[in-house]
């Protein structure tokens, strides 16, 4: 599949209550790599196998949660076209341009608020720092992983799960304007026609972002990071336990997306996930549908029942 529009999740900007404990968590336990700090007090980090300058932005604030999620697009021309398409759709509010350089090494970004109340942005340019695997140049004769990894050490920032009220408008925006596919959906009601969950992809992954319908605006459920194998998910559980990190649930498996997973919290209460597995998605693949009465195995396939905190705790 040729990726010509939105390529992938590019970054997530999170609010943390205290920067010191947050950095210990994200650098030493999760194992992200710090790439920059700015005069606003923000810290920029990346996972080891990401070539772009950063994928996580931390900002100290009085309330935890997500400031915005950014998406890498294929080119500057694509950025301009999608910005126009978003404006003409009438689905978004608070549209505007963020100047180049507001994030380190990053070009201008187009920012907008989607119907569920979340702030999103598109960008085409970000500095390449590589993954430190090459022995004679960054991508020449590389090793399979670099030395000096810490903690869980995921390979990339993968997706977010977000809570909001206007799921219909947001799905319309992502599918009809931004070109995403619906890989999986959760349906409710007597005739199972009322969508309460949507797992959306712009790539070959089972999801790049997911939304759950809740009577709130702009809430953050979790940011997820990819590990590559079930064995690494189990290892993540060991790392979390020895660091006395608050675990939400897992290791276990999802029915939705088939991913192997463990959920845990940063010191500010923001939920993180590390996962592996899933399946390859193509645009002609039929959407997988789950009914609300089967939500237990859909979310936690092994014990087939819901964890109430998983549904009700968000920032």
Q: Point out the catalytic residue in the list 25, 68, 254, 260.
A: 254
Q: Which of 166, 234, 237, 161 is nearest to 195 (CA)?
A: 166
Residue 34 falls in the annotated catalytic set: no
Residue 244 falls in the annotated catalytic set: no
Q: Point out the catalytic residue in the list 50, 121, 184, 273.
A: 273
Q: Point out the catalytic residue in the list 108, 222, 260, 281.
A: 222
- Which residues, in sequence order, are bridge partners of residue 248? none
Q: Point out the catalytic residue in the list 53, 103, 207, 221.
A: 207
Q: Point out the catalytic residue in the list 159, 184, 226, 281.
A: 159
Three-state secondary structure call for residue 124? coil
The CA-based angle 89-90-92, given to 5 degrees, is: 100
CA 26 to chain centre: 15
Q: What is the DSSP letter of 105?
A: T
**What is the 3-state composition of the chain as percent helix, strand, coil, each rounded to the nearest 5?**
20, 35, 40
Q: Is 30 exposed, middle or buried (0-12, 13-18, 19+ CB in 10 A)?
A: buried
Residue 207 falls in the annotated catalytic set: yes
Q: Point out the catalytic residue in the list 26, 163, 263, 281.
A: 263
Residue 263 falls in the annotated catalytic set: yes
Query: CA–CA separation, 249 vs 262, rounded Å?
Result: 6
Residue 254 falls in the annotated catalytic set: yes
Residues with a known catalytic role? 159, 207, 222, 254, 263, 273
């Amino acid at each position: 599949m040729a990726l010509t529009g939105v390529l992938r999740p590019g970054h997530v900007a999170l609010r943390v209550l205290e920067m010191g404990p947050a950095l210990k968590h994200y650098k030493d336990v999760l194992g992200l790599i710090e790439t920059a700090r700015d005069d606003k007090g923000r810290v920029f980090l990346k996972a080891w196998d990401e070539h772009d300058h950063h994928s996580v932005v931390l900002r100290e604030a009085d309330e935890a949660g997500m400031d915005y999620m950014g998406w890498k697009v294929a080119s500057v021309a694509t950025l301009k076209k999608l910005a126009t398409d978003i404006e003409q759709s009438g689905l978004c509010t608070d549209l505007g341009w963020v100047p180049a350089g507001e994030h380190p090494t990053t070009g201008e970004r187009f920012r907008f608020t989607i119907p569920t109340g979340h702030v999103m942005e598109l960008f085409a340019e970000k500095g390449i720092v590589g993954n430190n695997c090459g022995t004679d140049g960054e991508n020449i004769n590389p090793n399979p992983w670099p030395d000096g990894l810490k903690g869980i050490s995921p390979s990339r920032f993968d997706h977010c799960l977000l809570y909001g009220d206007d799921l219909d408008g947001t799905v319309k925006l992502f599918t009809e304007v931004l070109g995403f596919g619906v890989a999986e959906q959760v349906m409710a009601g007597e005739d199972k026609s009322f969508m309460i969950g949507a797992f959306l992809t712009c790539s070959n992954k089972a999801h790049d972002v997911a939304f759950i319908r809740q009577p709130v605006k702009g809430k953050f459920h979790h940011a997820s990071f990819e590990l590559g194998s079930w064995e690494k998910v189990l290892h993540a559980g060991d790392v979390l336990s020895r660091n006395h990190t608050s675990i939400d649930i897992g290791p276990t498996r999802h029915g939705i997306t088939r991913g192997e997973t463990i959920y845990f919290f940063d010191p500010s209460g923001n939920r993180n996930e590390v996962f592996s597995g899933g399946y390859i998605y193509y645009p002609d693949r039929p959407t997988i549908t789950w009914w609300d009465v089967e939500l237990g195995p859909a979310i936690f396939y092994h014990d087939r029942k819901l964890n109430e905190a998983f549904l009700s705790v968000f920032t």
